[in-house]
Amino acid sequence: MKKYDVIIAGAGPAGLVTALHLLQLRPQLSGCVAAIERARHPRPKVCAGGLIPRVITTLRALGVSVQVPAVRVFAGSAVTEVGGINLEPSSDPLCTIIRRDEFDAMLLEHAQAAGLEIIDNTRVLAVRADKYKVGVETTQGSFESRVLVGADGSGSRVRTSVFGQGKHNLGRALIVELPVPDRQAEGFKDGYRFNFNCVAAGVRGYCWSFPCLISGEPHLNLGIYDQSPGGARAVMMSELLRQLHVAFPELNSSRVHGVRLRIKSFPIRWYDPSDRYTHGRVILAGDAAGVDPLMGEGISYALEHGRLAGAAIARYLDGDHTALDAYGLKLHQGMIGRKLKRLAFAARRFYGPHHRFYFRLARSSSRLQRIAVDWYNGARGLDEMSITRAALRFLLHGSL
């Protein structure tokens, strides 16, 4: 049985940033922190790959720049039942679209340079924790650590083993990647598109279209997110796919041009304020803990969780036995928890029975739209403030 001070299940953004931040704070832990990854980087990852400005800010604080192929988006539009919304182009990117296999491999390089050991092609099978240690059974044998981080995604085996099988907040998404014809390649980066018409069909979510580069070639990442968990009253997958085709008719034309499209699906666990994120020496981070209920965005929360987890583990290993519990409280009561609760509030309105009223409200003011988008993106730290303070700062910034 190999022993480490810290084992991280999952080598995605949450797990890798946890390791990177911890090793930056405590470089003496080099070689004593391991990440268990079920595949080998660069591994394919089903994800829209959008990095909002909050992500870029967090990476810079860690000394990491985005050094992978990317498409920067400066404008956006949305279609709703009560009319369209067009967001005027901004001077700073609204979003940076990357490929997760490349992005995650880049983060791994930084974490390994700091002293992370990677145990890849290995699956976590079970977790046994007591007050002295955590045992992790895997397909490559047994491991032991003082702290275990469950950063192994929405279907987290760590979460299931230690915290139970809660599926009430497990939504889903479908994704398809469509090549962009040469004649349209120049304009494919004009902006991202959202379509909320599927809400009228019972989908608690939206359809999206993001420009992206796959092996250097322009593509559109098209998808649909449904917040509703599976079950008897869930929208059928066939209906989700139909709504995606209705939102983006270019999917239908692909059949004419002989393009074979591969539909990919994946779960999205969204934030629930009743969830626990700490149990003894085991903590959860990233998708395993829960992401934005409104839009399903998870990368920014993965990085914030990782930053907080790394700091908490450093204090715990120094002898502060309250540090891990404090981490769990921060995820609920700190900036991240406050933001996620507001997004959950918005999701209940925009995806509820009175959604038309709230979409009309969203269309009522272009300035309100810009405030909302900048707050959501974490531009200029607006998401760290109350809504009122964020609006006042935005208005002041605009007048200046």
Q: Where are the domains of the chain?
A: 2-69+97-168+272-343, 170-269, 365-400
Over the chain, what is the mean pLDDT? 91
- How is domain 170-269 classified at the CATH fold level? Alpha-Beta Plaits (3.30.70)
The beta-carbon contacts of 217-220 under 8 Å, at least 24 apart in sequence, are: 217/179, 217/180, 218/179, 218/180, 218/185, 218/188, 218/189, 219/177, 219/178, 219/179, 219/180, 220/177, 220/178, 220/180, 220/188, 220/248, 220/250
82: which DSSP letter?
A: T
Q: How far is CA 271 from CA 284, 293, 301, 332, in A?
A: 12, 6, 10, 10
Tell me the DSSP string of 133-202: -EEEEETTEEEEEEEEEE-S-TT-HHIIIII----TTEEEEEEEEEEPPGGGGGGTTS-EEEE-GGGGGT
Is 161 in contact with 126 (CB distance < 8 Å)? yes
pLDDT value at residue 251: 87
Q: Which of 120-134, 170-184, 255-269, 318-332 has the lowest mean pLDDT?
A: 255-269
- Tell me the pLDDT tens digit for each residue of 144-166: 999 999 999 999 999 999 998 78
pLDDT value at residue 400: 42
Tokens of 236: 């059928």
- Tell me the pLDDT tens digit for each residue of 278-309: 999 999 999 999 999 999 999 999 999 999 99
pLDDT band at 399 (very low <50, low <70, confident <90, very high): very low
Measuring CA to CA, which residue among 8, 34, 345 is closest to residue 152? 8
pLDDT band at 383 (very low <50, low <70, confident <90, very high): confident
- Tell me the pLDDT tens digit for each residue of 29-80: 999 999 999 999 999 999 999 999 999 999 999 999 999 999 999 999 999 9
pLDDT value at residue 185: 64
Q: Which of 75-84, 110-119, 312-321, 380-389 has the lowest mean pLDDT?
A: 380-389
pLDDT value at residue 91: 85
Residue 54: what are its φ and ψ, rounded to 5°?
Answer: -55, -35
User: What is the pTM (predicted TM-score) of this model?
Assistant: 0.93
Is 207 in contact with 194 (CB distance < 8 Å)? yes
pLDDT value at residue 167: 85
Tokens of 195: 């379509």
Taking CA 291 as the corner, what is the angle to CA 113 and CA 72, rounded to the nearest 5 degrees? 65
pLDDT band at 389 (very low <50, low <70, confident <90, very high): low
- Tell me the pLDDT tens digit for each residue of 353-370: 999 999 999 999 888 898
CATH class of 2-69+97-168+272-343: alpha beta
pLDDT value at residue 392: 63
- Tell me the pLDDT tens digit for each residue of 203-255: 999 999 999 999 999 999 999 999 987 654 567 889 999 999 999 998 887 66
Q: In the predicted model, is pLDDT for residue 110 greater than 70?
A: yes
